[in-house]
Structure 1
């Protein structure tokens, strides 16, 4: 049985499932060209898209345990600052996705929300790895991942399909140990590569 949708709190934020009262705020925020460019939301983004996401897609994700979506709000019934989702990609592995409303950027809200959601995933869902992926060039998303402590793991070719185009993406990951938390199973990191050993030429003569 999947957990009931929780409400998470951090020092400055409330993370809760979206509900119909948030439709107008979601629709308005999603008109930002940057959100439509760098995320997979429809473009143009219609009010019906917001309604369908809140009333159908997000609840279905919670019900099936496939995607856990939070609206990120300021406290005391404050405004919507963004949306964050954890999508299950494999057993024990989730991918975080997020966007921030234009007027709330530059305050560190999405970094704070990402860490709050990741901690919940590690402690309540038994997740052992949270991945971040973003199209190469999405420097704002990359900055959030870096500030949240994700470790870069490289670039994947043709790994993101967005609005009919496949693009390369950056990959990074956060583990429970990065937050001082235990994993559900032991993690044995690979040893670092051995340093190359200098060898003398076979004829014993020095080489430049």
Structure 2
């Protein structure tokens, strides 16, 4: 897929480029980012350059991972990263994807990550035809959970040993968002369990 740009009231979500390496490197020095994400630690210039130069480019090209640089519209400061990963099962796309994100320390608590996530969610459900959007975070990551809830994800529970982080299996909170949660229908009919 050709990379694209999404616009919100305060933000521009655009593909990462080589010029973003310095800002990504600076943001990922905050120990909270590698604490809660799969970002390497220590995070080096080589990691940043590989992310913005190869990983992001290949993700868009292969139509599997869409990483957006989230920047302020007024000054172009990097707020964070927002990624959407298509989930595949047995080599067929099942119209499912996973949303992930990190936010630079100086931009946390301002609602910008939720604003960016809402834009990616709308794009995924409408333009990509995603019918189930998933979110996972290590149990205890209250900031990520707050963003997911604000965007409309419904919490589904705690998955034991779901995440391997720094060589240790850890429990994860999980949530999902369906088109019907936002008042629209997916291409495939949904039959919820009626209960007992």
Please give the range of the TM-score, normalised by the shorter of the 2 chains: over 0.9
Q: 1:180 Cα shift?
A: 2.3
TM-score normalized by the length of structure 1: 0.89
For residues 110-125 of structure 1, the aligned pairs below 5 Å read: 110-125=113-128
Q: Tell me the residue number matched to 1:188.
A: 191
- 1:107-139 CA-to-partner distances (Å, cap 9, x unmatched) read 111111111001101111111111010001111
Number of equivalent positions: 191
TM-score normalized by the length of structure 2: 0.94
Q: 1:164 Cα shift?
A: 1.2
Say yes or no: does 1:32 pair with 2:30.
yes
CA distance in 2, matches of 1:54, 1:140: 25
CA distance in 1, matches of 2:62, 2:147: 28
Provide runs of 4+ in structure 1 moved above 3 Å: none
Q: Tell me the residue number matched to 1:202.
A: none
Long gaps (5+) in structure 1:
194-208
Q: 1:184 Cα shift?
A: 1.7
Q: Tell me the residue number matched to 2:141.
A: 138
Question: Given that residues 119 and 179 in structure 1 are in contact (C-alpha distance below 8 angstroms), is that contact kept between their aligned partners in structure 2?
Answer: no
CA distance in 1, matches of 2:52, 2:97: 21
Say yes or no: does 1:73 pair with 2:71.
yes
If each structure's strand is expressed as a fraction of its own residues, which one has the higher value?
2
Equivalent of residue 177 in structure 1, options 174, 180, 188: 180
